[in-house]
């Protein structure tokens, strides 16, 4: 099983990171993928990867919530990192219209810029979409030249949105929201194309039931998998095998 989206380099894990990784391995989590957020997250992310090289793999990108008036300078610094270190993806990138629309134009520019990096380097992208699936799909349709691939992380949309995402060749990242009674996913998950599904936690955020509201961690990926299995009427092993294969293929984890 693979947690394809975990911020275990965050300060919330500073007191017990080794135990968090150990618990994940005990639950059968073989890989933990680390998305970058901004300039400040790079050092702790790479330090975490270095501490657990058999488990953790890093991405590089600028999260839309950290796009501001200095976005060109910030992206210039982030782009230089690709020449210094091997990364498995460009991420996490995208559009966020939930918190603040002040820098919407800059967000779109940053998103397209980073999509172009992914094309140039032949890397998948990890996309953050909050209140922005339609806007993101519109930009992706413009930019898709057949080489773009990746995942809409923390997917909580409709069957129709899932199909539109899959039609562009993109995966769906299912996390804690899939276990929420009010998450709206109970009727969606049985209809998803499982060849495009991968698992994630987005820890320390969005812990699945029964830990909702507490700190999330990679070990809880198995709770997401269990809920997906229940909703689809299949075994946990089937969900594990297929989603692990999907993640290995998407991120080239061989």
Does 202 count as an annotated binding residue? yes
DSSP state, residue 149: -
Cα–Cα nearest to 3, from 196, 189, 174: 174
The number of beta carbons lying within 10 Å of the beta carbon of residue 2 is: 27
HSE-CB for 210 with a 13 A CA cutoff: 0
60 to each of 92, 178, 192, 241, how far by Cα in Å?
7, 26, 28, 27
Does 85 count as an annotated binding residue? no
Does 92 count as an annotated binding residue? yes
Does 100 count as an annotated binding residue? no
Cα(121)–Cα(225) distance, rounded to whole angstroms? 31
Does 128 count as an annotated binding residue? yes
- Strand ranges (DSSP E) for the chain? 2-3, 31-34, 56-58, 90-96, 125-130, 150-152, 170-174, 197-199
Cα(55)–Cα(176) distance, rounded to whole angstroms? 21
- Given the DSSP bridges, would you call strands 90-96 and 31-34 parallel, antiparallel or unpaired? unpaired
Does 5 count as an annotated binding residue? yes
Cα(126)–Cα(197) distance, rounded to whole angstroms? 13
The number of beta carbons lying within 10 Å of the beta carbon of residue 206 is: 23
Annotated binding residues, written as ranges, equal: 5, 7, 92, 128, 153, 202
Annotated binding residues for a divalent metal cation, written as ranges, equal: 5, 7, 92, 128, 153, 202
């Amino acid at each position: 099983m693979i947690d394809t989206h975990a911020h275990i380099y965050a300060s919330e894990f500073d007191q017990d990171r080794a135990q968090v990784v150990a618990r994940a391995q005990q639950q059968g989590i073989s890989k933990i993928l680390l998305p970058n957020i901004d300039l400040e997250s790079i050092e702790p992310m790479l330090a975490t990867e270095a501490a657990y090289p058999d488990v953790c793999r890093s991405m590089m990108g600028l999260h839309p919530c950290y796009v501001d008036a200095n976005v060109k300078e910030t992206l210039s610094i982030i782009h230089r990192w690709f020449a210094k270190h091997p990364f498995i993806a460009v991420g996490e990138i995208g559009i966020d219209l939930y918190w603040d629309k002040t820098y919407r134009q800059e967000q779109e520019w940053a998103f397209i810029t980073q999509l172009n990096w992914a094309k140039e380097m032949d890397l998948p992208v990890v996309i953050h979409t909050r209140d922005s699936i339609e806007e993101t799909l519109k930009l992706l349709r413009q930019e898709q030249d057949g080489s773009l691939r990746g995942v809409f992380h923390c997917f909580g949309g409709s069957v129709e949105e899932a199909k539109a995402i899959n039609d562009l060749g993109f995966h769906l990242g299912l996390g804690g929201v899939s276990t929420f009674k009010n998450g709206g996913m109970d009727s969606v998950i049985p209809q998803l194309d499982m060849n495009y599904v991968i698992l994630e936690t987005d820890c320390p955020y969005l812990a699945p039931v029964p830990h909702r509201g507490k700190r999330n961690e990679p070990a809880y990926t198995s709770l997401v998998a269990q809920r997906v299995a229940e909703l689809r009427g299949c075994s946990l092993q089937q969900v594990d095998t297929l989603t692990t294969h999907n993640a290995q293929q998407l991120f080239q984890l061989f």
